[in-house]
Amino acid sequence: MLQDKIQKAMKFAGEQHCNQILPGTKANYLLHISNVLMEVLVAYQELPDFNIDLAAQIAVLHDVIEDGDVTPDEMARLFGEDVTEGVIALTKNESLPSKPEQMQDSLDRINRQSREVGIVKLADRITNLQQPPSSWTIEKKLYYIKEANQIANAMVGKHAYLENRIKEKIREYENYL
């Protein structure tokens, strides 16, 4: 059942992110994970045309390889190849020399996966388009908007509701400039 899969993934993510704080807050990183999952669940409620079991697990686990201490092999044993491949696609390749190259590489890998991975990418950026930390410069905020637009453009055709939502969140985020 979906609830059991989410609980298993959430416990694992909680262990992987146990000492991580959401930047600019005092909140545990699981707040971000919960918000990404919420976006995916609401998207499914609005337009139930994707594999919610797969998307929900990827949503909960999307940062565990990048931020945690887990290998793809361990992920595959616990959650299967489809979930693992989705998480890998969402993980930045830090061996690439620049953030723009890392982003484009990740978007290219996401677009070679099932659309559920793109749905999670949209949900992740939507969640991140909240008020930025006060320490962010105008240049960093402008770059974040540029990246959000890049994501929105790369994810066209993944999910109409989320595509509209990310555009709305980008417009709202411009108020922080």
pLDDT tens, position by position, 42-51 = 999 999 999 9
Q: Where are the beta strands (DSSP E) in the chain?
A: none
d(CA 126, CA 95): 26
Find residue 28's DSSP bridge partners: 21
- In this prediction, residues 165-174 reach a mean pLDDT of 98
Q: What is the mean pLDDT of the chain?
A: 97
pLDDT tens digits, one per residue of 50-89:
999 999 999 999 999 999 999 999 999 999 999 999 999 9
Give the helix, strand, coil percentages of the chain, each rounded to 5.
Answer: 70, 0, 30
Statement: residue 24 has pLDDT above 90 = no
131-168 per-residue burial string, b: 16 or more CB within 10 A, e: under 16? ebeeebeeeeeeebbebbeebbebbeebbebbbebbee
State the distance between the two ends of the chain, measured CA to CA, in whole angstroms: 43
- In this prediction, residues 97-125 reach a mean pLDDT of 98
Q: Is 81 exposed, middle or buried (0-12, 13-18, 19+ CB in 10 A)?
A: exposed
Task: Please give the helix or strand (H or E) that residue 83 lies within, else none.
Answer: helix 81-90
List Cβ neighbours of 46 (8 Å cut-off, separation of 6 or more): 161
Number of domains in the chain: 1
d(CA 146, CA 69): 30
The parent domain of residue 20 ranges over: 2-176
Amino acid 25: pLDDT: 86
What's the CATH number where 130 sits? Answer: 1.10.3210.10
Identify the band that residue 16 occupies on the pLDDT scale cut at 50, 70 and 90: very high
